[in-house]
Amino acid sequence: MNDNRPIIIAVFGLSPREEKILQTICLISQTRPKTYELMPADGSEHPDIAILDAHDPQTFANWQKFGTDHPMLPLVVIGEDLKLDRPIIRIDRPLLATKLLAVFDQIQFSGEHPAFAPPEMRETKTTSAAQHLDVPKASEKLNTTSLSALVVDDSLPIRLQMQKELGSFVGHVDLAETGEQAVELVAKNDYNIVFLDVVLPGMDGYQICKTIKREKRTKNIPVVMLTGKSSPFDRVRGKLAGCDTYLTKPVDLPTFKDIVKQYLLQNAVE
């Protein structure tokens, strides 16, 4: 593939939510050596990869016509175990940005995915691509300036520490020390991730989490609860409030980074 242009992805049959995941991948890739773009509706760009949900007959018919004109185009198939006269990669739902990004990267780095290797070098058994893939090292830092985060903690040192660490992943970080400040900020701004201390002056973290998760506009924001404890009772309360995961203070930095990358990639556009 030409190193001087983006990798173009042709999409067939994905849901609006899944197309948003692809848009997230394209957005994140802008800070990486290789960038991805969705193929324009007018077909003015030649695709490098196609992704297909073949469940709908009309969509599959559209793909067959398109695929005939692009016989060497790498194809990623969602769910269906299709028998086609071309190598394919099959992945299962739910679609995760990390999984798709890994598949796309392996395809475009000189066709390194086993499905696109010379026949004598292919694996003899068929397996799901997702079983072999790790998150690419190229995505260790997102540095996506359009993403933002909120940190809610009554400890100034913790707020400042997390603000510093988040600077490697998002373009903007807001800080709040009370529950009331947090609710006001969430009402006014769009965040891609929220870190929320359990024990706060006024409203506690569980109440704030419930407030975030019951609103249509904010319910898909990943909420990471910060706690000095890790008892099963705390985790049950957090799940009932709707939180996505926990971090125990003092925060372990590698775990923190893994959580940030996971939830920004999966939920940045939801």
Neighbours of 196 (CB within 10 A): 28
CB burial class (10 A; 0-12, 13-18, 19+) of residue 213? middle
Of the candidates 138, 157, 189, which is a domain's last residue?
138
Of the candidates 138, 162, 179, which is a domain's last residue?
138
pLDDT in the model for residue 81 = 65
Of the candidates 117, 138, 159, which is a domain's last residue?
138
CATH of the domain at 179: 3.40.50.2300
pLDDT-derived band of residue 165, with 50, 70 and 90 as boundaries? confident
Mean pLDDT for the chain overall: 76
Regarding whether 202 and 110 lie in a shared domain, the answer is: no
Distances from the Cα of 186 to the Cα of 132, 157, 254, angstroms: 38, 22, 27
Between 259 and 119, residue with greater pLDDT: 259
Residue span of the structural domain in which 163 resides: 141-267
Q: Does 138 score more than 60 pLDDT?
A: no
pLDDT digit string (tens) for 50-105? 899 878 788 888 888 888 888 878 888 887 666 676 677 888 888 877 778 878 87
Residue 63 lies in a domain: yes
Q: Which residue type is seen at 10?
A: A
pTM: 0.49
Regarding whether 173 and 148 lie in a shared domain, the answer is: yes
pLDDT in the model for residue 108 = 66
